Structure formats: C-alpha cells, structure tokens
C-alpha cells in the first residue's frame, strides 16, 4: 500500500523545499534584492532517474491513492545532493514486439518501437535525455524526453534555483537580471493522452530526432536558450489497444483535478517540476485543425490577462505554420476563442491538461489534428487512406510544436515575466485584473470571468472534523498539487471560528492560489450564462470529498503555523477495553476498514441505522484498522444486535470509473453485462448486483433470466442512473417511477438527507450529478433516503419541452431504498456518487447500500 516511491519522494521533497524557502523568503521585505538567491536542493525538482524507481505496481498505487489518507504521499526522504546535469540518459527497457498494436495499421510508431528509438537517439546525441516518470495503469513505462543543449551540473543547479525563485520569491526573480537573461525557457509537449489519437507521439518523435541531429547554428542557439520536454505518449495502454481511455477505463484528460490515475499523476509531476512557460496537448480529430485558446466560460481562477495575450498570438502563429505545410486540409485552423460561441469549447474545469497546467504557470493549448483515423474510420477506410491521413496529422503536430517553440523563443522574456507576475499576484493576494474589451481581438464582456479569493481555507482536526480520513486525504492531495498547506501549532480563531492545534491552513496568499481555490471553492451555476458546456462544469473538493473545511473570507489570519509536509490519518479507538466498538460508515475509508476487518474474519454486525459493530474481542484488529485507514471507532451504544455482515461479493454491470472506485474500497467485484449473463454466469457466492451500465434485463435470454431471478430471490440490488432505473422497472423491484433529467446536466447539488438506513443523516449535504434521475410515485414500503435541493455549481437547464430541469428535480427523491415484493433489498441512486472517482465523500453511500442490500 505505498505509492511509487520516487514520485512520492520527489513531490514531497518539492513541497518541503518550496515551503521552506517560502518561509525564509517571507522573513525578508519583498522587493529587497538578495545578495544570493536562496539555494534549493537540486534534486527536488528533477524527475528522478534510474531503472528501479517504479518498483511498486502502478495499479496498486493508484488504488491506494484513490482513497487512502496516508498513501498518496510518503514522508519526505532526505534529499540527495546528487548534482546531475544534462543529458540524463537512461537505457530504457525494450518491450517485445506486439503485432496487435493498433498504431501499426496507421504506419505510426507502435509503443514497443518508442524505447528503441529513444535509446538510439540518446546514443547519437547529447541533446536528448529520456527518463521514465511513471507507469500506466497496466504497468507500461511513461517516458519523459528532454531536448536541450548539454549542461554541466552547476548550470543545471542554477536553472533549478531560478525556477524555484520564480515561484517562491517572484519579486526577487523579477529583479534578477541574470535570471531574465539566462533562464532556459521550458516548453512541454504532451502526446497521445487519448490513446486512439495517436499522432502527438509521432510528431514529437520526429521533431526530437530533427532537433537531436540538426547541425545548424539556429538549432544550436535555440537549445542553449530552451528546454523542450516531451511526454511522448501519456497513454501507452490506449495507444496499443486503440482506446481513448487508459487500462482502468479512465479518460486521463478529465482526471487532472482528481489524480486518480498514474498517467495523470505522472504529468502532474512534469507540470510542477518543469514549470513550463508554454504547453501543448496534442489530440485529434476535429476535421479542421483546432487550436486553443478556448471559448468562455473561462476558468474564474486564472490570471487570464497574462494567459490570453500569449495564447492568442501563439495560436495565430500555429495556424500560420500549418497553412504553410501546403496540405489542402490544413489551410486554416479553428481557434475556439476566435471562431466558436461561448460554451462550445470552454476552459472552465481544471480537468484538462492545458487548463491544469495554466495554474502552474503555463500558457496551455489543446491542439486537435484534423483527419480522423480512429473509431469507424479505423475499421472502414483503406489502409493507404488511413496512412495518408496520419501522415498529414503528424505534419500538423510537428508544425504546431515548432511554431510554439518559436513563439516561446521570440517572446521569452515576456513569458518569463508573466509567469513571475502570476505567482507574484498570488503571494501578494492581489485581486485579478479587469480585462478591457478588445484586449486581444474579440475579447468582450462574455469573456470576463473572475472570482474573489477568500483569505484562507481551514481543514480542522478534532471534534469539528467530520472525517479524519477525508481531512488527511484532502491535505495530501493539495500538497501533491504543489499547494502550500500549513499546520497550526497553537489553537487559533479566524473568521469567528475557533480551530484546535494541528488544524491545516491553506492561506491563499500563495503562488498557486488559483489551483487551490479552483479545488476548494464551490464554483458557480453557469446555466443562465451559456446554452451548454463541453464537459463537467461543477466539482468541489471542499463540498464533495468528505472533509469539513472552513472558510476565512477576509480579515486577519492570526495563526502560528509550520509548513505541512504530509497529513497523517488521525484515526482512533475511543472506547475502553472490553466494550464493543462502533464504526459509522461515512467515508470510503470507513468501508475499507470494514472490508479489511471482514477479510480478517472479524464477526461484524450491521445495525438498522447503518452502524457497524465490532466485538470487543477484535479490539487489536480495530486499532490496526484505525491506524491504517484513519477511521474512528467509538464505544457501541446500547442497541439492537444487528445483522451478521460478511464480506460482500458484488456482480457489477458498471462503468470503468465505478469498478475502480468499488475496488478501491476493498470490495470483491466481478464485472458482468448482458453478454456475460447470457453466456451463463455462476451466481454462487454473489451477494449484491450493481447495475449502472451494460445490463438490460429484457435483453437476457431465458436461461440467463431464470438464473438472475433465482439470485434476486436471495441477493440485493444497487442501481444508478437511467440504466439502473430501467433494470429496476423491468425486474419489477421497487414501485417507483424514474424521471430522467436533462442528459448533459451536471454539477454539485444540495440535498436533504433522511434517516433511512443507506444514506443516513450524517451524509454530506451535497452530491454530484450527471444526467440526474429522480423518483416519483414512490409506493408503499419504499424509503426516500435523500431529496434534491438546488444546483450550487455546474450547468443544468431544462429540455426544450421544459422538462428535466433543476426546478422539476427540486424536492424530488434522489435516492430510494426498499425491499422488493420478490424479497430483493434494493437501493436506487439518481446521483453520481462514484463519478470518475472524484466525489470521494459520497463513496460511503454506495458502500452502505451494498452492506444493507446484502443483509436483507
Ligand atoms: Zn483527445
């Protein structure tokens, strides 16, 4: 249960070094020029090295990180003083040839061909460094290639110091003439994050080779002034299989605020460690090449003035470069900011790589190459046509990278100064700038988004904390994202609230306040502003991750504190020896503890109120679980004995993210579908069927239906969404009518929780929805567990006929439970408690549904 040790060490050390330096820097008066820049250990920002640093399987780390309070970050290791310059050449391990790699048909480089090519280039050129920065969900190496002129170790150390100074003491950096003259401009190119959008990899490889072998003075000069980082393929699993998602079924380009997947954690380390001035995320396929900047709504936490002036000009430069390729299909580009309507291609959520990178100081662009070669085209077009298209796409990738690198080189000083300015505003706590109309061509009132930053957020410990496991998880998540968090060493009062010693403070006077606030603020209801959104438009780690978080809106922050490096899970057992113990399942970590105790053979009982009772005889094991998962056991109050609980086995017709979330809670899950059941499925040992995707009762053949009906007479059912509601109706389980909300509606909604056995009164007062469903006509014997309130953040309009909107949902049942006439304990969710592994504070509702239905 430990994360990739080198990643952990690197991130933890980065955080340690930056907060230490920040603390030192704050002692000085801003604006005082230092005699010497504050040194930062060289090893803290590099990407690690050596062949054995991914010793732990990425999937284990991912599952652990999905929930564990203590596992995402390990204690900071002593930073090595290894002084390494460039190149940093690693002999990459070579994978066996895989003739099934879907790249091959397109004439592109299969995954197994990348390492040999990079090994060869490293042998031929001292400008190329290849490193492994993580592993995919299925365990394949993720490569980072750095192209730059060779550096002595002391030169690299100086670059590292300058990079740290830009973030940690920007007012010094702005006055450091040597820095402004000598800092090598970092540019980052991410390729192939969607596995079936292949050419970002191939365009990168071609340009790497050209830069490595060019002999002209211009290239020589460029590489003395620039470092170009390439994450050559961000999704090896998808590249090989021809899928958009990674091996866990996740879209990595939606995971950057959540970091549930090893691929997004790997590029997070690049965004933080390289601190790029400019980054491109190379995708496909939009018919016409698409180059961001995006339409409104713009993320309201950006310093958007600093972004758009470069993003617009850089996009125009890329458009010119693809026109000069001479292909008829590349004569122009779509630039959403310039060419699309608000909401058609927005940069609102920080779930996309470039939007995430913006908070780390990058001018980020998604680039979509034009010509489709995936999905239907892959199977239907002749090979020659596919290869012609892919060749054009590779040209577009190379041209856009070249143009972006040229823009960076030509505007190097302005880009460095603007990154410094972004971090300086954060430290200073200055308001965002009002941007005038016409600031760049087309900038108007529809583009004006901003927020008011509170002074601080406080994550309390002690009795005021709803879930110690959730609190530790949130703190460690923020730290892993280079957000500075401090720990109070004395009690303090802020915003009228008293907080105990040990509480965590996120002071928004910090360089990455935009990212901190994007994660912790509520967001807003965008429904009145734009007709639709590109993807999700609401999220909130504060409202959905299960931890109590206070807000200090303004005023003084009188707190004695030290930098936090890692939050330890603060679980405990407060009952006396000899007393039975009670655990309230209010977080996924509580479910992990329950499942672990069941695995250890402890005789747990489930009370009608959802409390799990642990016998006094298992006290030692409970103490172990409290430490491991950060959960709280209290003395079991007098009450009914409850029903014996055994470790539930779930048959699950669910989406990949839900499967991942269920397994991260320690459930034993067997994936099923209509096809699996029709082929003959053994229901022996299965306790609960979960249905949200891929299973239609009426499409089962007679034998499969008979077998399923046999199961329904003894097992439980948990469903979610429209597919689940249809299953409920067709299997004649609970007597309710499901109503589908608008399909693209999504966001954070308030709820009123009842006192039913599943959701319970202690559940969070907010949920996440996507394609929300509610239940009317609730028949006898059905308990309304939860009702919808109002949308806090997101986008939720009614359908054109006036149905399916927020107003229709308000007050309606969002979760119901009951025992069906045929005896099946059944829970129906209209919400999205496991969506993309994000709303971690809602996982407990699913766990409780599983335990409750398993024991009916
Ligand atoms: Zn894509």
Question: What are the DSSP calls for 397-414, one per residue?
Answer: HHHHHHHHHHHHHHTHHH
**Where does the pLDDT of residue 1 fall: very low under 50, low under 70, confident under 90, or very high at 90 and above?**
very low
Rounded to the nearest whole angstrom, what is the distance from the C-alpha of residue 706 to the centroid of ligand 1?
A: 43
**Quick one: average pLDDT of 39-48?**
31
Q: Is the pLDDT of residue 113 over 80?
A: yes
Query: Rounded distance, CA 260 to CA 695, Å?
Result: 26
Q: Ligand 1 centroid to 202 CA: how many Å?
A: 15
Question: Which pLDDT does position 533 carry in this prediction?
Answer: 97
Q: 105 alpha carbon to ligand 1 midpoint, in Å?
A: 20
For residue 744, the CA-to-ligand 1 centroid distance in Å is 19
Question: Residue 568: its pLDDT value, please?
Answer: 81
> How much distance in Å is there from the Cα of 235 to the middle of ligand 1?
11
**715-744 residue pLDDT tens:** 999 999 999 999 999 999 999 999 999 999
What average pLDDT does the chain have? 91
Q: What is the pLDDT of residue 569?
A: 73
Q: Which residues contact 217 (CB under 8 A, 6 or more apart)?
A: none
Task: Report the pLDDT averaged over residues 829-856.
Answer: 98
* CA of 234 relative to ligand 1 center, distance in Å: 11
Q: What was the pLDDT predicted at 244?
A: 98
- Cβ contacts of residue 769 below 8 Å, gap of 6+? 741, 745, 746, 747, 749, 794, 796, 830, 831, 832
Q: Which two tokens stand for residue 501?
A: 């010693």
Contact in structure between 226 and 316 (CB atoms under 8 Å): no
Burial 817-831 (b: 16+ CB within 10 A, else e): bbbbeeebbbbbbbb
Query: How far apart, in whole angstroms, are the C-alpha atoms of residue 592 and residue 441?
Result: 53
Residue recorded with tokens 């190097």: 412
- Say if residue 468's pLDDT is above 80: yes
Question: Which helix or strand (DSSP H or E) is residue 169 part of?
Answer: none
What confidence category does residue 3 fall into, taking pLDDT thresholds of 50, 70 and 90? very low
Two structure tokens written together for 784: 């309304």
pLDDT tens for each residue of 603-644: 999 999 889 999 999 999 999 999 999 999 999 999 898 999
- The CA-CA-CA angle for residues 546, 551, 552, to 5°, reads 160
Q: What is the pLDDT of residues 265-281, one digit of tens each?
A: 999 999 999 999 999 99
pTM above 0.85?
Answer: yes
Q: Are 253 and 350 in contact (CB under 8 A)?
A: no
76-to-10, 273, 475, 565, 791 alpha-carbon distances in Å:
8, 16, 15, 7, 40
Q: Residue 320's CB: how many other CB atoms inside 10 A?
A: 13
Kindly tell me if the per-residue pLDDT of 33 is higher than 80: no
pLDDT at 543 over 90: yes
Ligand 1 centroid, distance to 253 Cα (angstroms)? 8
CA of 302 to the centre of ligand 1 (A): 23
Helix (H) or strand (E) holding 112, with range, is helix 111-124
If you measure from the C-alpha of residue 294 to the centroid of ligand 1, how many angstroms do you get, rounded to a whole number?
Answer: 15
Q: How confident is the model at residue 16 (pLDDT cuts 50, 70, 90)?
A: very low
Cα 548 to Cα 538: distance, rounded to the nearest angstrom: 19
What are 405's two structure tokens?
């690198």
- Expressed in percent and rounded to 5, the helix, strand and coil fractions of the chain are 40, 20, 45
Gap from CA of 511 to ligand 1 centroid (Å) = 30
Alpha carbon of 337 to ligand 1 centroid (Å) = 18
pLDDT over 70 (residue 8): no
CA–centroid distance, 205 to ligand 1, in Å, is: 19
Q: Of 828, 840, 850, give the one whose Cα is nearest residue 768.
A: 840
CA 270 to CA 282: how far, in whole Å?
A: 16
pLDDT in tens, 356-384: 999 999 999 999 999 999 999 999 999 99
Distance 367 CA to ligand 1 centre (A): 9
Instruction: Please classify residue 80 by burial: count the beta carbons closer than 10 Å to its beta carbon, then call 0-12 exposed, 13-18 middle and 19+ buried.
Output: middle
Burial of 49 (0-12, 13-18, 19+ CB in 10 A): middle
Listed residues: CB within 5 A of ion ligand 1: 194, 197, 283
Determine the average pLDDT of the residues in 124-133.
97
Nearest to 634 by CA among 567, 677, 586, 568: 586
User: Are the C-beta atoms of residues 399 and 322 closer than 8 Å to each other?
Assistant: yes
788 vs 794: CA distance, rounded Å: 15
Structure tokens at 816: 């119901």
What pLDDT was estimated at residue 68? Answer: 37
Q: State in Å: Cα 263 to ligand 1 middle.
A: 15
Q: What is the pLDDT of residue 82?
A: 53
Interval between CA 838 and ligand 1 midpoint (Å)? 20
Query: Is 229 strand, coil or helix?
Result: strand
- Residues β-bridged to residue 746: 770, 795
803 CA from centroid of ligand 1 (Å): 32
């Amino acid at each position: 249960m430990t994360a990739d040790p080198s990643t952990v060490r690197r991130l933890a050390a980065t955080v340690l070094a930056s907060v230490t330096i920040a603390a030192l820097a704050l002692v000085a008066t801003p604006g005082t020029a230092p005699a010497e820049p504050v040194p930062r250990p060289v090893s803290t920002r590099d990407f690690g090295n050596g062949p054995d640093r991914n010793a732990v399987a990425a999937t284990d780390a991912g599952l652990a990180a999905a929930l564990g309070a203590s596992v995402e970050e390990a204690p900071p290791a002593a930073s090595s003083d290894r002084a390494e310059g460039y190149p940093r050449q690693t002999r990459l391990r070579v994978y066996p040839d895989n003739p099934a790699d879907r790249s091959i048909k397109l004439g592109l480089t299969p995954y197994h061909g990348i390492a040999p090519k990079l090994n060869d280039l490293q042998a031929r050129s001292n400008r190329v460094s290849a490193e492994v920065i993580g592993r995919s969900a299925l365990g394949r190496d993720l490569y980072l290639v750095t192209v730059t002129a060779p550096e002595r170790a002391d030169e690299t150390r100086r670059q590292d110091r300058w990079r740290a100074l830009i973030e940690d003491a920007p007012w010094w950096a702005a006055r450091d003439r040597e820095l402004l003259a000598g800092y090598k401009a970092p540019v980052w190119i991410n390729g192939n994050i969607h596995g079936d959008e292949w050419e970002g990899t191939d365009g990168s490889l071609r340009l790497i080779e050209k830069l490595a072998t060019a002999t002209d003075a211009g290239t020589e000069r460029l590489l003395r002034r620039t470092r170009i980082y390439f994450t050559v393929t961000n999704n090896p699993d998808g590249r090989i299989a021809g899928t958009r998602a990674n091996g866990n079924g996740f879209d990595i380009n939606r995971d950057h605020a959540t970091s549930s997947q090893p691929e997004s954690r790997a590029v997070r380390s690049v965004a933080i460690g390289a601190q790029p001035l400019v980054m491109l995320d190379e995708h496909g396929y939009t018919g016409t090449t698409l180059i961001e900047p995006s339409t409104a709504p713009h993320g309201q936490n950006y310093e958007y003035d600093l972004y758009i002036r470069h993003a617009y000009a850089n996009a125009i430069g890329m458009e010119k470069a693809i026109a000069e390729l001479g292909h008829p299909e590349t004569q122009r580009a779509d630039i959403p900011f310039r060419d699309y309507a608000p909401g058609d291609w927005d940069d609102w959520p920080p779930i996309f790589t470039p939007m995430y990178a913006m908070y780390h100081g990058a001018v980020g662009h998604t680039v979509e190459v034009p010509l489709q070669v995936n999905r239907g085209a892959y199977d239907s077009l002749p090979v020659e046509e596919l290869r012609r298209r892919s060749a054009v796409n590779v040209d577009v990738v190379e041209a856009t990278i070249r143009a972006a690198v040229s823009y960076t080189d030509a505007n190097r000083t302005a880009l460095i100064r603007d990154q410094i300015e972004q971090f300086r505003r954060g430290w200073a706590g200055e308001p965002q700038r009002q941007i005038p109309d016409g600031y760049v061509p087309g900038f108007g009132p529809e583009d004006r988004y901003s927020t008011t930053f509170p002074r601080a957020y406080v994550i309390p410990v002690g009795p005021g904390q709803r879930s110690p496991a959730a609190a530790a998880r949130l703190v460690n998540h923020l730290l892993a994202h280079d957000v500075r968090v401090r720990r109070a060493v004395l009690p303090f009062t802020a915003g009228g609230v008293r907080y105990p010693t040990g509480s965590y403070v996120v002071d928004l006077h910090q360089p990455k306040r935009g990212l901190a606030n994007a994660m912790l603020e509520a967001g807003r209801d965008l429904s009145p502003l734009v007709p639709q959104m590109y993807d999700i438009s609401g999220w909130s780690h504060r409202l959905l991750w299960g931890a109590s978080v206070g807000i200090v809106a303004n005023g003084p922050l009188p707190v004695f504190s030290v930098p936090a490096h890692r939050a330890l899970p603060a679980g405990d057992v407060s009952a006396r020896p000899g007393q039975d113990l009670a655990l309230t399942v209010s977080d996924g970590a509580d479910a992990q503890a329950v499942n672990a105790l069941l695995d250890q053979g402890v005789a747990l009982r489930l009370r009608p109120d959802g409390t799990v009772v642990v016998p006094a005889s298992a006290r030692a094991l409970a103490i172990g679980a409290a430490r491991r998962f950060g959960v709280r056991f209290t003395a079991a109050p007098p009450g009914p004995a409850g029903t014996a609980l055994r470790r539930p086995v779930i048959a699950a017709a669910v989406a990949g993210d839900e499967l991942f979330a269920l397994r991260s809670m320690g459930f034993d899950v067997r994936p099923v579908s209509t096809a699996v059941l029709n082929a003959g499925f053994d229901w022996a040992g299965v306790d609960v069927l979960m249905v949200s995707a891929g299973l239609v009762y009426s499409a089962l053949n007679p034998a499969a239906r008979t077998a399923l009906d046999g199961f329904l007479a003894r097992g439980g059912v948990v469903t979610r969404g429209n597919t689940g509601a249809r299953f409920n109706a067709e299997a004649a389980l609970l007597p309710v009518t499901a109503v589908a909300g608008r399909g693209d509606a999504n966001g954070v909604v308030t709820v009123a929780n009842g006192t039913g056995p599943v959701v319970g009164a202690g559940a969070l007062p907010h949920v996440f929805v996507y394609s929300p469903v509610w239940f009317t006509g609730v028949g006898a014997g059905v308990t309304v567990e939860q009702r919808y309130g109002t949308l806090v953040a997101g986008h939720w309009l009614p359908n054109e006929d006036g149905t399916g909107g927020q107003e229709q949902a308000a007050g309606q049942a969002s979760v119901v439970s009951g025992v069906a006439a045929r005896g099946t304990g059944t829970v129906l969710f209209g919400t999205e408690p496991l969506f993309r592994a994000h709303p971690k504070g809602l996982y407990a509702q699913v766990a409780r549904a599983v335990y409750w239905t398993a024991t009916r």
